[in-house]
Amino acid sequence: MPQRAGSADLPLHGGQVPRWLASRMTRLGAVMAEAIVHHYGRDELLRRLANPFWFQSFGAVMGMDWHSSGITTSVIGALKRGLKPLEKELGVHVCGGRGKHSRQTPQELVAIGARTGVDGAALARASRLVAKIDSAAVQDGFDLYLHGFIVADDGKWVVVQQGMNGDRREARRYHWLSEGLTSFLDDPHAAIDGVAQGKIINLADRRASASRNAQLDLLVSLGPEKIARELSLLERDGEPRDANLAQPMLPHLVMPVHHDVRASDVIARRLHGTLAAAAERGPQDFPELLLTPGVGARTVAALAMVAEVVHGAPCRFADSGAVFLCPRRQGSPPVPGADQGL
């Protein structure tokens, strides 16, 4: 199971990488990755790609703008093209990418499993779940649009994915590492680098365990009709009160500034249908709930809000903006720039 190894906030840049630069990055990225595997092994390459500071430095050395959000797209694309001819030699495979390429990741992983003997179906499930966690379980204002999955022949992997906040012209990058970890959800961060977004819905926080369990209970005990009714009351009255407050808050009505009634202001029929589908499927744990077709950020937020009122289980926690790195594992060669924040 994976460890979320870090995130990075970057200025959002448009445009396209020139063909000559993309070609140069492809050749240089492949040579550098090959040197790391030959000198330090495949595990070390995965560890370095999971380090948000090293990844940024890697892209800069390959020739991309040092602070650009485009580093993520260009590095993943260059590695995918450059390492393809070296797959058999290095035993490293790059899947996914931006937009439609990200949605092809599960099929690519199943195909790699058929060729190498690793469990491709399990890798595909991990790919879908990691994407669902950073798009639905962690609601920090960034919409995912890139998902890169790098896997070795022994089944170890790293995920690099990126989200966009168009209003603020910012991008945030998320890194996951599979090595030696036991949970998708309980504080799996090894490094965080980014501007704090305040309190966010974060069901990948260890303290959100009560909320995750309560959401599964709601599907059975209340059912879609009552959940939708409770949610409509909550959205009418504003945010649910903090379950940790000693004194109850007085009702507070919050109305939007726009006059027209928008889809976000009402309970959509689609939400009710998704809740019904999830209840019928009967997920046994929270990852299964996230993987239910149709379940996304709005469905998870709806369940979390109702669970907070019904069971007093909080789902909002501070988005960590501090920088911290986990201690290097024993025997691992030093990562250039890790101690200097490069």
d(CA 164, CA 261): 26
pTM of the model: 0.81
Pairing of strands 316-318, 199-202: antiparallel
Mind listing the pLDDT tens digit for each residue in 123-163? 999 999 999 999 999 898 889 999 999 999 999 999 998 88
Asked if residues 132 and 291 have their Cβ atoms less than 8 Å apart, the reply is yes
Alpha carbons 142 and 110: distance in angstroms, whole number: 28
- Condensed to tens digits (0 to 9), the pLDDT of residues 60-76 reads 899 887 667 788 999 99
- In this predicted model, what pLDDT tens digit does every residue of 43-55 receive, in sequence order? 999 999 988 888 9
Residues near 307 by beta carbon (within 8 Å), at least 6 away in sequence: 211, 214, 215, 217, 218, 313, 315
Identify the DSSP state of 318: E
Q: Exposed/middle/buried for 120, CB within 10 Å: 0-12, 13-18, 19+? A: buried
CB atoms under 10 Å from CB of 47, counted, come to 25
Helix (H, G, I), strand (E, B) or coil at 300: helix
pLDDT tens string 239-254:
554 444 333 444 444 4
